[in-house]
Structure 1
């Protein structure tokens, strides 16, 4: 099974993100979206249907703001999802109430939207909450500043829509109580099988990283997002055991140990079998040792609560853009200036690099312009009653099916549904006025968002790539001490293992931030890609040793003698200094077989470059 380590000098850096017009006409691969689309369609249709049944369609349309709750937490286990969705539904209710309340003091409208947009962006970016992220919270607040509805009524209507969405979202628990956890483990099994199949070839860096991410997500579902009281059942215990076995298979593939009888084909086959076993869970097993899962919410928030963190940078840009877009709307007396503020947030809130931000702005603008034509046709027909319900459900279904495949096409239907809801079930005497206003507001918002990103966009990661590599290697040294002592399951060891995994993931995001933004010299960071890959290989090898020791005990072949540990630590210390100072390759001490290839490969990959300390790292 031994696979000669392919030098990272042969590893080509991933292409820098670029602006592509063809993305407007192509479809990306996507995971299953049908359950999400059906759930979103019913969540938005039911409040309107209830409003129609009681003779108040306008109230039903207002409640659809709360129905936006359905767009979040789709991958969370149901016990955790219940609390998250309840918090989101309540947040929408409070935000909309504040927006309507601010109508009494028009001068407060823009500052309120700025505060809500910044708070939502910081939380969503810090906790890695994917699309729609902060956008929907900002849109709800901004729209509420222009909705003519009593302040004492609107909060209850929105909360009612959120309650309907909560019930629809949670209905899956009646059919498959452990469905999200099962899906996460099945996805990890597929990723590990792909990695095992490529472990005998040379190009295994990307499959290995994808498998590690999938396993990390699975442990988050199985550990992090489970109730704090530690309650388990037969299905959860069994899924944890299966995922632990997957991680041991992953470790075996990383180690490529000759002492293992299993071939890559055998390991890949077993990983696929585990994926199949998730569909028919048998009897449970005794509780197994599990990792700590994803970093806790409080840790992630505190980690980003610094001036130069990525979340703080995105939050600052969103705040500036919303303030400018709102000021322009007020200066031009735009009737629906909230569209401009929402469009600015949409362009910026994900914290993308310049190329992808420009791409997002173009897709939003083109999709909106085409959507205005379709919206005009729908408004001219003016569907009412159950036809209105069916129209909204179809539009929401199409949005969710398309948003991960072709964003511009999804925006076509986003524009339609927004305008149909904004019409408040009234026939418009002059729809062209509304459509023209939407076009102007979108152009202003996207333009402001792009301008703010161009002026205040990141000039590289807040922690330089050299610094991030050095930090990861320091954590690797600490993890090695636990490997040498065969102490990999104590609380301290589990925290170190999690921090090392977290550091490996951050290497990629740091690299992308330096090469995709307005870095002073992105070519230097591009030459660092082999060092990034070599550091990942070394980190994964140490983590694999931890899993090996955990599975077979202190007799693991990864166990280091004291002298061997000293030599490895000395070599790593030299590498850390070389990386930090930006010097070239080093000559490591005589090393044992464990990590010898990884350390030499890392040394050979070093790019001479005298770096300056990163901001905030002293």
Structure 2
């Protein structure tokens, strides 16, 4: 990014904001030393054995298999680590066998790779593990079809799986001593984020703090409910942690009321919640909190913190239980609905198959060196859950260029026979850290490793450098042309569709606000979590769209006022619910129905094409005729503002910024 700004200063021009956002690395965090050490051992030790024994064909292939496992080793919980590594590694072995079975058969390779790409893209929409599984299935099929390897046909997939098993074994070494630590850390992170939000209440840091709260809550529930689904009722420690996480619900609901209170919060509240967070993380008793009271907001916060402390001590029960974890049949049906009920998997499968087909057809017609790298790069750039395709193509090209220049210097200056080991160790050490900062940094680290490993297997020296650059640029051109510029809908932001979905989830929450309906208490808590999760997804889609070139980034910017309105609407509803739970006069059921109907109408307005908006939109005043003393009057005012923003004169690209379908 500094280089871009330097060029801009020299030419007297300012770089476009979308480009600066696209290339800006993520904020630096504490180095992930355990993952970095595992990476060094898994990638360097087999190569050291290869140098010592001279058997490069076997031991270097183990290191190649370990690269994918190192990239997969991102989960905190141990059972997720095993799942994230083992399932994709098995798929990679199957992919290699499929590719190797058609190696050297010309257009048969093209046809098979198109089919493999479609299957890979189709299953990638189910979830993170499926996405990684589909990615490695396709990657190894491409390598198996394009890279001849000596030895029996079954040896390469077994060696690749051995590399994955090595990383898996290293990753699980701490399991006997730290079995529940990741889950405790995730629950404690929720309370730490609540404490930070209390400190930020009433300040400009509030929105960012609440985004962190939503992310930590989503991560904790995903982690604990998956564990509960795999071992229902068998793990008392996990049940206690889930109860402590559920006990945070009243605190989460008290946050918007604390933010909107007339009097600023004292540091006492944040300190007390942070003390409880540390006690949860260290699995030790927490002191009983003593907070000042006097206002409904203070009373709600005090009661919520005392309840959470009581649940942690085992003297109280979480009265906001999470939805029970589904059995395997229900989860299978849910996955099938995700796979076949929507168009995301089909669209991505077709998009990936088209680009892979073009890449394989091109290398069949044109003699490119190391030609299988074209399809490999296409696969990496088009991975569906890693953000903007354009940004990834840009960063992939930049990272590859930096990586091959470094690898070329090593091949020219460092003698063979084991002197490469320090360079491999440094690249392996940097890989987890680089992956956390930028896709370009990750690509550069992987490129150094792959070029050096390829030289050990084929002894082609610096000729690999030019081949890698050519293949990458060809692949980036294919993706940007067929998978981005010409692909229908690729240059249209998805923010509007997700914002409409978020508003519908908020409407469902609004319809359950009546505290007199005790039977709906659990449903109300679940509906609030769904609404905040949807809002978090909208924020993510918005940030990704801002890194696209115009017109995508320009149109995405037009959604920002509505996104802010949606945040205020949901916070207003949550603050109202907290006051109602602590004695405020509840609104008539008709008021909740009116607000929910207005939110659904607003969602339909946003999702509708321009030609249908006038028919969809109804006058907000007719919907929001609530009395000024209604507990929902503030929410109604926020919804009215959102309608005004939707139809206001300052909207950008109104006819084309709403995604279709």
Question: If the length of structure 2 is used for normalisation, what is the TM-score?
Answer: 0.77
| CA–CA distance in structure 1, aligned partners of residues 119 and 76 of structure 2 | 22
Aligned-pair CA distance for 1:304? 5.7
Match of 1:408 in 2: 440
Aligned to 1:505: 536
Instruction: Indicate the residue corresponding to 2:170 in structure 1.
Output: 168
CA distance in 2, matches of 1:297, 1:47: 39
Cα deviation code 1:539-579 (max 9, x no counterpart):
35555777x69xxxxx8237874x62211211331343255
Task: Supply the distance in 1 between the matched residues of 2:556 and 2:448 (Cα, whole angstroms).
Answer: 43
- State the distance in 2 between where 1:50 and 1:478 align: 65
SS at match of 1:256: helix
Alignment-derived partner of residue 204 in structure 1: 206
Please list the CA deviations of residues 441-500 of structure 1 after superposition, one character each: whole Å capped at 9, or x if unmatched.
Answer: 01101111111211111423297366435423432244336x55133455x556544533
Structure 1 138/565 Cα, relative in aligned 2: closer, same or farther at 3 Å?
same
Match of 2:338 among 299, 303, 306: 303
Residue in structure 2 matched with residue 573 of structure 1 by the alignment = 597
Selected match of 1:363 from 392, 395, 410:
395
- Cα distance change on mapping 1:578 and 1:181 into 2, 3 Å: closer
Matches within 5 A, 1:159-558: 159-201=161-203, 204-231=206-233, 233=235, 235-256=237-258, 263-282=265-284, 285-286=313-314, 288=318, 290-292=321-323, 299=334, 302-303=337-338, 305-306=340-341, 308-309=343-344, 311-350=345-384, 356-380=388-412, 381-385=414-418, 387-425=419-457, 427-428=459-460, 431-451=461-481, 452-456=483-487, 457-461=490-494, 464=497, 467-480=500-513, 483-488=515-520, 490=522, 496-509=527-540, 511=542, 526-540=557-571, 542=573, 556-557=581-582
Assess, with a 3 A threshold, how the Cα gap between structure 1 residues 396 and 258 changes in structure 2: closer, same or farther: closer
Aligned equivalents of 1:121 and 1:30: distance in 2?
Answer: 32
Q: CA deviation at 1:18?
A: 0.6
Match of 1:144, SS state, is: helix
Q: Matched residue of 1:18: which SS?
A: helix
Equivalent residue, structure 2, for 1:590? 627
- After TM superposition, the structure 1 stretch with the greater mean CA deviation from structure 2, 504-513 or 393-402, is 504-513
**SS class of match (1:240):** helix
Quote the residue 1:70 is aligned against.
70
Alpha-carbon deviation of 1:339? 0.7
CA shift for structure 1 position 182: 2.9
Pick closer, same or farther for the CA change 1:308–1:82 going to 2, 3 Å: closer
With over 3 angstroms needed to count, the CA separation of the structure-2 counterparts of 1:459 and 1:279, relative to structure 1, is closer
Contact 1:484 1:559 in 2 (8 A): no
Aligned partners of 2:390 and 2:480 also within 8 Å = yes
Structure 1 residues 22 and 119 mapped into 2: Cα distance closer, same or farther (>3 Å)?
A: closer
Greater displacement, 290-299 / 106-115: 290-299
Q: 5+ unaligned residues in a row in structure 2: which ranges?
A: 1-15, 286-311, 606-612, 648-653
TM-superposed deviation, 1:418: 0.6
- Mapped to 1, the partners of 2:555 and 2:172 lie a distance apart of 49
- Quote the residue 1:13 is aligned against: none
Q: In structure 1, what is the equivalent of residue 7 of structure 2?
A: none
**Superposition deviation, residue 340 in structure 1:** 0.9
Offset at 1:214? Answer: 0.9
Deviations 1:159-185 (A, max 9, x none): 222211210111121332123223323
Moved more, 168-177 or 499-508: 499-508
Q: Are 2:633 and 1:600 aligned?
A: no
Counterpart of 2:306 in structure 1 is none
**C-alpha distance in 2, partners of 1:293/1:364?**
42
Judged with a 3 Å threshold, the aligned counterparts in structure 2 of structure 1 residues 320 and 87 are, in CA distance, closer, same or farther, namely: same
CA distance in 2, matches of 1:234, 1:153: 44
Query: 1:375·1:416 contact (CA, 8 Å) conserved in 2?
Result: yes
User: Which secondary structure does the structure 2 equivalent of 1:29 belong to?
Assistant: coil
Counterparts in 2 of 1:129 and 1:272: CA distance versus 1, 3 Å: farther
**Equivalent residue number for residue 48 of structure 1:** 47
Change (3 A) 1:252 1:504: same
2:10 is matched with none
Residue 192 of structure 1 contacts residue 211 of structure 1 at CA under 8 Å; is this kept in 2?
yes
Distance in 2, matches of 1:363 and 1:265, equals 42
What CA distance in whole angstroms lies between the structure 2 residues aligned with 1:539 and 1:179? 33
Shift of 1:252: 1.4
Residues 137, 20 of structure 1: alpha-carbon distance in 2 compared, 3 angstrom cutoff:
farther
Query: Counterpart of 1:107?
Result: 107
Give the distance between the partners of 1:488 and 1:35, measured in 2 at CA.
45
1:42-67 per-residue CA deviation (whole Å, 9 max, x = no partner) reads 22234434555665331111123432
Question: Aligned equivalents of 2:137 and 2:564: distance in 1?
Answer: 38
When the two chains are superposed, the root-mean-square deviation of aligned CA atoms in Å is: 4.0
Greater RCO structure (CA 8 Å; 6+ sep):
1
Conserved? CA contact 1:63–1:158, under 8 Å? yes
Q: Does the 8 Å CA contact 1:250/1:544 hold for their aligned counterparts?
A: no
Return the TM-score normalized by structure 1: 0.81
Does the CA contact (< 8 Å) of 1:65 and 1:140 recur in 2? Answer: no
The range that moved more, 153-162 or 115-124, is 115-124
8 A contact 1:458–1:513 mirrored in 2: no
Q: Counterpart in 1 of 2:296?
A: none
What corresponds to 2:56 in structure 1?
57
Instruction: Could you tell me which runs of 5 or more consecutive residues in structure 1 were left unpaired when the two chains were aligned.
Output: 1-15, 550-554
Cα distance in 1 for partners of 2:627, 2:113 equals 61
Report if the CA contact (8 A) 1:124-1:134 is conserved: yes
Deviating more after overlay: 69-78 vs 291-300: 291-300
